């Protein structure tokens, strides 16, 4: 055998071994920062498992449960509470894995993730983010973990991804699914005794969306305690910023309209003033 041919064989053997080690390493935990969140990659897009295209938000294949019930954009969390959660794959393959995180609108970690399951673990990612993922992938298609909500009211988004593997020892023939949805907190019923001119419960209870996504935009009533500046922000169900307006409002009851045209679906109206905010979900 010539030296050149021997070198090719050695390089090929080493490359094959590295490829297989990368493929096998993900049996214990998916690479962090690969949930398809903004600025992140995914197992399909990165080329690791690229036989099939990325399949997003398939209700009959990938689900996230909270306290046994389906978790989606209709979920409202109680600030500071801890929830029992489960990611479940329907019609799984021989080996399956997942990764999940919860982020706020700034792309930062929202709350905390933990698990006591032997089939799952939590790893740290960049920028203080945390990811929960599988430790056991052979014949397993659901994993239990806990999420502790942040102590305040925010618009949050779950980013999750699952790999359904045919267990052929390579990265071919596998399917990658994602599930992404945005949710918010229950209305804040506490009062603010500071001199900001806003009370949390007044801000929360005094806003009524009366004409979502009409020809005039989003129309709503608001009862302002004292004159102040207000930011009005609209997000869609996957956390994308759709519209933002700023108004100076005098005290009293009034009706406002934010010019906006959107497709049918779930939206969030976020009202912010002097460090206080109120979030209202509405459906077109």
**Which pLDDT does position 187 carry in this prediction?**
58
225 and 177, same structural domain?
no
Question: How many whole angstroms separate alpha carbon 79 and alpha carbon 104?
Answer: 13
137 and 216, same structural domain?
no
**Which pLDDT does position 57 carry in this prediction?**
52
157 and 41, same structural domain?
yes
255 and 177, same structural domain?
no
For the range 51-54, what are the long-range contacts, defined as Cβ-Cβ under 8 Å and sequence gap of 24 or more?
Answer: 51/171, 51/172, 51/173, 51/174, 51/175, 52/174, 52/175, 52/176, 54/176, 54/177, 54/178
**Which pLDDT does position 74 carry in this prediction?**
85
Domain contains 16 = no
Last residue in a domain, options 185, 208, 241: 185
Lowest mean pLDDT across 3-7, 185-189, 202-206: 3-7
Q: How many CA atoms lie within 13 A of 62 on its CB side?
A: 25
Domain contains 17 = no
**Which pLDDT does position 120 carry in this prediction?**
92
Domain contains 18 = no
Show the domain range for 275: 200-283
What share of the chain in percent tops pLDDT 90? 20
173 and 204, same structural domain?
no
Last residue in a domain, options 138, 159, 185: 185
271 and 241, same structural domain?
yes
The mean predicted confidence, pLDDT, of the chain is 74
Residue 198: C-alpha distances to residues 18, 43, 69, 221, 280 (Å): 60, 46, 35, 16, 17
Comparing 122 with 274, the larger pLDDT belongs to 122
Domain contains 118 = yes
Cβ neighbours of residue 227 closer than 8 Å, sequence gap 6 or more: 197, 248, 249, 250, 251
β strands within 80-201, DSSP E: 82-89, 95-104, 112-114, 120-124, 130-134, 142-148, 156-165, 175-185
Comparing 64 with 215, the larger pLDDT belongs to 64
**Which pLDDT does position 116 carry in this prediction?**
92
Last residue in a domain, options 119, 152, 185: 185
228 and 154, same structural domain?
no
**For residue 232, what is the domain's CATH number?**
2.60.40.1930
Structure confidence at residue 129 as a pLDDT band (50, 70, 90):
very high
237 and 104, same structural domain?
no
Question: How many whole angstroms separate alpha carbon 66 and alpha carbon 196?
Answer: 36
**Which pLDDT does position 257 carry in this prediction?**
87
**Which pLDDT does position 87 carry in this prediction?**
93
Spatial CA neighbour of 62 closest among 41, 104, 33, 93: 93
228 and 144, same structural domain?
no
204-246 residue pLDDT tens:
456 777 777 666 688 888 888 888 889 998 888 777 888 899 9
Comparing 161 with 166, the larger pLDDT belongs to 161
154 and 204, same structural domain?
no
Comparing 49 with 76, the larger pLDDT belongs to 76
Cβ neighbours of residue 270 closer than 8 Å, sequence gap 6 or more: 155, 231, 232, 233, 234, 235, 277, 278, 279, 280
Matching residue, tokens 């700023």: 246
- Is residue 101 within 8 A of residue 133, CB to CB? The reply is no
**Which pLDDT does position 105 carry in this prediction?**
87
Cα dihedral 10, 12, 13, 15 sign: positive
Domain contains 21 = no
Q: Which of helix, strand or coil describes residue 249? A: strand
**For residue 124, what is the domain's CATH number?**
2.60.40.4060
Q: Is the pLDDT of residue 19 over 60?
A: no
Number of domains in the chain: 2
Domain contains 11 = no
107 and 72, same structural domain?
yes
Q: Mean pLDDT throughout 47-59?
A: 50
222 and 175, same structural domain?
no
């Amino acid at each position: 055998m010539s030296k050149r041919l021997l070198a090719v064989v050695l390089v090929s053997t080493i490359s094959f071994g590295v490829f297989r080690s990368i493929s096998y390493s993900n049996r214990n935990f998916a690479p962090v920062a690969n949930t398809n969140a903004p600025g992140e990659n995914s197992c399909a897009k990165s080329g690791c498992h690229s036989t099939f295209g990325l399949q997003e938000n398939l209700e009959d294949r990938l689900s996230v449960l909270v306290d046994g019930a389906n978790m989606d954009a209709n979920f409202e969390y109680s600030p500071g509470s801890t929830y029992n959660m489960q990611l479940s794959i329907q019609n799984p393959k021989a080996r399956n894995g997942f990764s999940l995180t919860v982020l706020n609108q700034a792309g930062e970690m929202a709350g905390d993730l933990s698990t006591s399951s032997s089939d799952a673990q939590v790893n740290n990612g960049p920028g203080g983010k945390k990811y929960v993922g599988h430790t056991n992938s052979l014949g397993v298609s659901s994993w239990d973990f806990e999420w502790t909500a942040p102590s305040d009211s925010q618009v949050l988004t779950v980013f999750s991804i699952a790999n359904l593997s045919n267990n052929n020892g390579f990265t071919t023939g596998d399917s990658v699914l994602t599930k992404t949805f945005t949710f918010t907190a229950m209305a804040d019923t506490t009062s603010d005794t500071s001199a900001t001119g806003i009370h949390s419960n007044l801000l929360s209870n005094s806003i009524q969306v009366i004409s979502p996504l009409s020809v005039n935009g989003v129309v709503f009533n608001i009862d302002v305690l004292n004159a102040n500046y207000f930011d009005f922000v609209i997000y869609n169900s996957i956390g994308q910023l759709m519209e933002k307006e700023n108004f100076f409002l005098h005290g009293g009851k009034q009706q406002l309209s934010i010019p906006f045209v959107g497709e049918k679906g779930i939206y969030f109206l976020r009202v912010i003033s002097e460090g206080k905010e109120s979030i209202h979900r509405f459906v077109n």
